[in-house]
Amino acid sequence: MSASAGGTAGPVIALQDAAFGYGERPVVSGVTLTITPGEVVAVLGPNGSGKSTLVKGILGLADQFAGQVHLFDVPRQEFREHPRLGYVPQRHTLSGTVRATVSEVVATGRLSRQPWYGRYSAADAAHVERALMLVGLADRERVDVADLSGGQQRRVLIARALAGEPEVLVMDEPTAGVDAANQHVLAEVLARLVAEGLTILVVTHELAAFADLVTRVIVVDNGHVQFDGAATDFAARRDDVLHDHDSHHHDDELSAPAQPRQVVPRSVEVPRPGRRHG
Ligand SMILES: Nc1ncnc2c1ncn2[C@@H]1O[C@H](COP(=O)(O)OP(=O)(O)OP(=O)(O)O)[C@@H](O)[C@H]1O
Ligand SMILES: [Mg+2]
């Protein structure tokens, strides 16, 4: 049943002089970076700087113009172990044409885990239920997603990604429109998953929500990586790095080292990242 070779100790994401964009036009370029298991990397930068393009490029959802992308030490074009990566896109309308309940949407997060002949199993259902509990939407599973608020819809998408038991979770503005209390719940859930080995790459304008979790910060400006370093170094140099364009950034973020991690109560069951040991 083990679908993945698993167990790589090497980088989970590696870019070498990569450029990504759309059609004819590169939007981000010259990106070289390596993300290793267990890192929690925040991508910051002003609107339009290329943050989403960078993460889409990593996942093969934007065009690649130059350089190399490796996922789990495999060139991206040859990478087939898609369940190992979870993705929460920035823009995704869950409302509109197709009616679907919350649990149906989250269940699509299990598709990549099922064999082509497979059926939705009791285990799949259990993962869906757990993921919904983690994001605090267990009581909404039968509700039509179109009838949820924007912040609740973000949480449905996070649950969908978690339901797939990813080893790496790539999230693009996961907390946009999510209220402070629910951001806190999410941060606690993610902290627990990180403690179990999850790697996170998160684009955010709300660093405060992840301050206890983030180990590394990447700042993208005008299509280039302008800063890439430890969260503590970023905290010390934040004003230099962010200039004025993001001066509304919350001020007390990352003022302390990203050490103490809050852990959610033991009673909360967490789907394990699909990490193989040994
Ligand atoms: N699908 C697309 N096709 C063509 N150009 C695009 C597309 N998506 C984004 N762009 C362009 O790429 C540039 C960077 O956009 P991107 O979405 O990566 O920025 P961002 O840093 O994520 O911004 P935000 O903080 O607003 O989410 C912008 O100039 C944008 O117009
Ligand atoms: Mg974006």
Domain at 102, CATH number: 3.40.50.300
pLDDT of residue 97: 64
Domain membership of residue 91 (yes or no) is yes
Greater pLDDT, 182 or 173:
173
Residue 238 lies in a domain: yes
The domain total for the chain is: 1
CB of 219 within 6 A of ligand 1: the answer is: no
Q: What's the domain range around 100?
A: 13-242
For residues 118, 121, 126, 129, the Cα torsion angle rounded to the nearest 10 degrees is: 80
pLDDT range class, residue 277, cuts 50, 70, 90: very low
Q: 109 C-alpha vs ligand 2 centroid, how far in Å?
A: 22
Q: Positive or negative, the Cα torsion across 26, 30, 32, 33?
A: negative
Give the pLDDT confidence score for residue 207 in this predicted structure: 87
Give the closest residue to 158 by CA, choosing from 192, 128, 126: 128
Q: How far apart are CA 179 and CA 198, in angstroms?
A: 24
Output the pLDDT for position 86: 93
Atom of ligand 1 nearest to the CA of 90: 27
Residue 27, ligand 1, Cβ within 6 A: yes
Per-residue model confidence (pLDDT) at position 99:
83
Q: Would you say the CB of residue 49 lies under 6 angstroms from ligand 1?
A: yes
Q: Are 72 and 82 in contact (CB under 8 A)?
A: no
List, in sequence order, every residue forming a beta bridge with 216; answer none if it has no partner: 41, 230
**CB within 8 Å of 258: residues ≥ 6 apart:** 40, 211, 212, 213, 214, 215, 231, 232
Tell whether ligand 1 has an atom less than 6 A from the beta carbon of residue 61.
no
- The answer to whether residue 256 sits within a structural domain is no
Who wins on pLDDT, 120 or 135? 135
Q: Which of 49-58, 172-181, 237-246 is least confident?
A: 237-246
Specify the pLDDT at position 112.
79
Residue 131: the pLDDT is 94
Q: Is 90 exposed, middle or buried (0-12, 13-18, 19+ CB in 10 A)?
A: middle
- 222-240 pLDDT tens trace: 999 999 999 999 988 888 8
Predicted confidence at residue 209, as pLDDT, reads: 85
Residues sharing a CB contact under 8 Å with residue 272, sequence separation 6 or more, in sequence order: 165, 196
Tokens of 127: 């993962």
Whether residue 3 lies inside any domain: the answer is: no
By most ligand atoms within 8 Å of CB, the mutation choice from 20, 52, 207 for ligand 1 is 52
What average pLDDT does range 74-97 have in this prediction? 84
Please check whether residue 81 lies inside any domain of the structure.
Answer: yes
Distance 172 CA to ligand 2 centre (A): 7
190 lies in some domain: yes
Mutate to test the pocket of ligand 1, among 20, 24, 27 (most ligand atoms within 8 A of CB): 27
* Residue matched to tokens 């978690």: 162
CA-nearest residue, atom 8 of ligand 1: 53
Strand order in the sheet with 13-22: 25-35, 13-22, 63-71, 74-75
- Mutual angle of helices 122-134 and 150-163, in 10-degree steps: 140
How far, in Å, CA of 62 to CA of 65, rounded? 10
pLDDT at 118 over 90: no
Residue 2 has pLDDT above 90, yes or no: no
State the pLDDT at residue 256: 44
Tell me which residue has its CA closest to atom 28 in ligand 1.
Answer: 48
Q: Is residue 7 part of a domain?
A: no
Give residue 248's pLDDT band: very low, low, confident or very high (50, 70, 90): very low
Gap between the Cα atoms of 214 and 234, Å rounded: 11
- Number of C-alpha atoms within 13 angstroms, CB side, residue 189? 24
Stretch 19-25: mean pLDDT: 95
Q: How far is it, in rounded angstroms, from Cα 2 to Cα 124? A: 15
- In this structure, is residue 100 part of a structural domain? yes
Residue among 28, 29, 49, 206 to mutate when testing ligand 1 (max atoms within 8 A of CB): 49
Q: Which has more pLDDT, 242 or 184?
A: 184
When the pLDDT of each residue in the chain is averaged and rounded to a whole number, the result is 83
Token representation of residue 59: 């996942």
Q: Mean pLDDT over residues 45-51, rounded? A: 96
Strand 199-203: give its sheet, edge to edge: 85-88, 168-172, 199-203, 40-44, 216-221, 224-230
pLDDT for res 95: 61
| Centroid of ligand 1 to alpha carbon of 50 (angstroms) | 6
Q: Are 19 and 26 in contact (CB under 8 A)?
A: yes
158 has a pLDDT exceeding 50: yes
